[in-house]
Structure 1
């Protein structure tokens, strides 16, 4: 027995709206961003999110990325603009310009899309971006991962993978419990239209092959060749996805057991970690401490975790981070030696304009002509007060601190002396470890983001 289309649509929209209510705030100033491709999934999310935004008193900003990969992409953008306007949402477009890679195009396009969406969302002041992934996307990602893909797992609430563009930004996927076919059926019944991207049927791409392999069975129930999925399912629908287990990316986690750690060391340079730290938590710590975006190799991470668990004293480097294990104390921080082998680019600072240096610090100068660079090789030239501050952190970490230089200045100065400095690692780690569950958590102060005032 089938439900009346209006009832089914209302139930579907109601489930999605409930997930929005569970995560997002009402009647607050920052807007909510929504990634709008024009496909059926994002068009369905636009309809539900726009209704939710009106009732919640929130501004909704739809963001469309033109990848420049299709001759009809301009028409797609115009379709998205009209849809956003009809739904009462604001609309922004970003374009992926420049040369496109010959190999690895889907991954490169995904990275560019996340970065462009993150930049646009931060520009309008949004803290959360809505994405229209469904249960089908989860199954397809799992299918691809079981065949060697390094694609990260999809979670309802996770940090933006774009770094540093997505700093402090969360992604909300409120439709992971819904099937693609149900969303399109609902759109069709309500008179909405959407774009069908022919690239989705291109067998050169793993995502397209996954869709073919996971076609719904004739009766429309279940997924053929389905793999494990962590997407929420609706009880009794016969659409559970079971199979092989995978280890998700450390930055794509829902709330886990809290990692045992102390507050960041002064100036944001590192963390003290309990030896029993879990493997994915340690991976997240390494990336946050180093400012990197490439997860450490699994085999090397497993060996490092085993050494920690065994109580061994050692010094090691991994993913641009340094691990110092001595007795019960384990410290993780930036490996300053990496800045000799692969220097972080110097950045010319503009007064009042924030810049991210080495993926770890957001620096806003108060005066013109300052350049931020690494302290390594310049420590002895610092003033006596600055050296006293530097001495509050382990010796091996000091060279990774940011200092400011400029023509005519007698010596470098610690960046905190002449600029507003925010350490990005504490908040990045908090979000990576699943310590936030909703938008209101993003307003709280994270200890360690700014240096203790008594240091200066």
Structure 2
């Protein structure tokens, strides 16, 4: 191994150590395509995992788009098992779209990877994105802006899974984000290892391929980047979760990235809002005016110094959010905000709109402190054959997802609360508002909820 290879190896190990814990039971998941970036990361991560007594699991997604993909999957399995790792293969089934194939395939890949992560109990997924990927994304972002298209999000070393709700509770770690693609291939050559070259990487129909071609003669475009974890910004505006996964209360002084994350977390939606509509909302908040608007399925109310971001029941009706039947022992997510598990059959999870007057007195009292316009978005449970809804949390096992989703999204943007941990072991701790507390169903008072904070630096249980 050359001095350059040794230096690269030490940098990657340090980045893995900065985020991940040693000697815990939860495995780390690594998607393996067989390309040069993922093969280099496989070897580096396997060495780290052995040294830190961690289980590393490889997963390969066969998109079914190339006739050689089964051969590639077998090569990936061989490479993983040669390092003593477990390997899991998954295939993207079903019809493929004729337009938007790249984005659809990416979403399908992330959903399949998230499913495997939940299956094996992993909380962190390693990906092989490099400085070249950052430069290519910047090139694509610049072209999208020129064409009036919503720009792509920026790659960071630590960010939530981009699919929801499949990716709930999962973080992506990109330990190669400051490394050059060519340096990784030099490392593989020095170790006598080969890799797969996907012909799609040279197909000019795809934006990523066009970016790669355009940057071939611009080596300075992929100069080493400052490691993202060193650029975190303290977020000092308190954020308080509303009961029943309905949203948040906060102040007006929020960075646009935090506002975007809060909107999508409160609404349970998929895509982060960007562009002029988000900028316009930020300007209204900064102006200090009182207002009520909706954006991305969320209702935003600014009154004085206070801001409430909550799920908009009217948007739920317009988009026909269907009830979710619950199978015994199987976690199901409703409206992207509530996860429920029941041990007995015959329950379904739905919204309170149209059912509020059939709730018990105790349940109506629990909702009484909330503004009337958002109460209809509260989750309720109904038993088959019955017509008496029950607020979610009274029966079964229920998690309200927006608080944790927001915490992870803020961390991915490099926005952290003072004292917040942005490491793997923080993913094992509870977040206020995520699950029902013992006083959730007591008669509400004017006492504000504790601020949303990520858990303090604690070892996993």
TM-score > 0.5, shorter chain as reference: yes
* Structure-2 change in CA distance of 1:425 and 1:253 (3 Å): farther
Q: Matched residues in 1 for 2:171 and 2:159: separation?
A: 6
Q: Note the residue ranges of structure 2 that are not aligned, 5 or more in a row.
A: 442-461
Q: Matched residues in 2 for 1:402 and 1:324: separation?
A: 21
1:22 counterpart = 2:18? yes
1:212 counterpart = 2:213? yes
SS at match of 2:113: helix
- Preserved CA contact (<8 Å) 2:178 2:224: no
Alignment TM-score, normalising by the size of structure 2: 0.89
Cα deviation for residue 259 of structure 1 reads: 5.3
Cα deviation for residue 342 of structure 1 reads: 1.0
Q: Matched residues in 2 for 1:43 and 1:159: separation?
A: 23
1:146 counterpart = 2:142? yes
The residue that corresponds to 1:133 in the other structure is 129
SS at match of 1:385: helix
4+ residue stretches of structure 1 with deviation over 6 A? none
The residue that corresponds to 1:83 in the other structure is 79
- Preserved CA contact (<8 Å) 1:253 1:432: no
Question: Aligned ranges for residues 127-276 of structure 1 at < 5 Å?
Answer: 127-148=123-144, 150-216=151-217, 222-223=219-220, 226=221, 231-232=225-226, 255-258=232-235, 260-276=237-253
Q: What CA deviation, in whole Å up to 9, does each residue of 1:271-305 have, x standing for no partner?
A: 11211212111111000000011222411111111
Question: Aligned ranges for residues 100-115 of structure 1 at < 5 Å?
Answer: 100-115=96-111
SS at match of 2:439: helix
The residue that corresponds to 1:237 in the other structure is none
* Structure-2 change in CA distance of 1:254 and 1:267 (3 Å): farther
* Structure-2 change in CA distance of 1:297 and 1:15 (3 Å): closer
- Preserved CA contact (<8 Å) 2:260 2:274: no
Q: Matched residues in 1 for 2:87 and 2:132: separation?
A: 27
Cα deviation for residue 253 of structure 1 reads: 12
Instruction: Choose which of 336, 341, 353 in structure 2 pairs with 1:376.
Output: 353
* Structure-2 change in CA distance of 1:253 and 1:65 (3 Å): farther
Cα deviation for residue 406 of structure 1 reads: 2.9
Cα deviation for residue 384 of structure 1 reads: 1.3
Instruction: Choose which of 365, 369, 384 in structure 2 pairs with 1:407.
Output: 384
- Preserved CA contact (<8 Å) 1:372 1:404: yes
- Preserved CA contact (<8 Å) 2:248 2:310: yes
Q: Note the residue ranges of structure 1 that are not aligned, 5 or more in a row.
A: 234-247
Give the total of aligned pairs. 428
Q: What CA deviation, in whole Å up to 9, does each residue of 1:341-384 have, x standing for no partner?
A: 11212111012211111000111123211011111011001111
Q: Matched residues in 2 for 1:403 and 1:29: separation?
A: 35
Instruction: Choose which of 80, 88, 93 in structure 2 pairs with 1:92.
Output: 88
SS at match of 2:233: coil
Q: Matched residues in 2 for 1:297 and 1:196: separation?
A: 34
* Structure-2 change in CA distance of 1:253 and 1:295 (3 Å): farther
- Preserved CA contact (<8 Å) 1:275 1:309: yes
Alignment TM-score, normalising by the size of structure 1: 0.90
Q: Which moved more, 1:387-396 or 1:310-319?
A: 387-396
1:421 counterpart = 2:421? no
The residue that corresponds to 2:322 in the other structure is 345
- Preserved CA contact (<8 Å) 1:158 1:253: no
Cα deviation for residue 254 of structure 1 reads: 6.6
The residue that corresponds to 1:362 in the other structure is 339
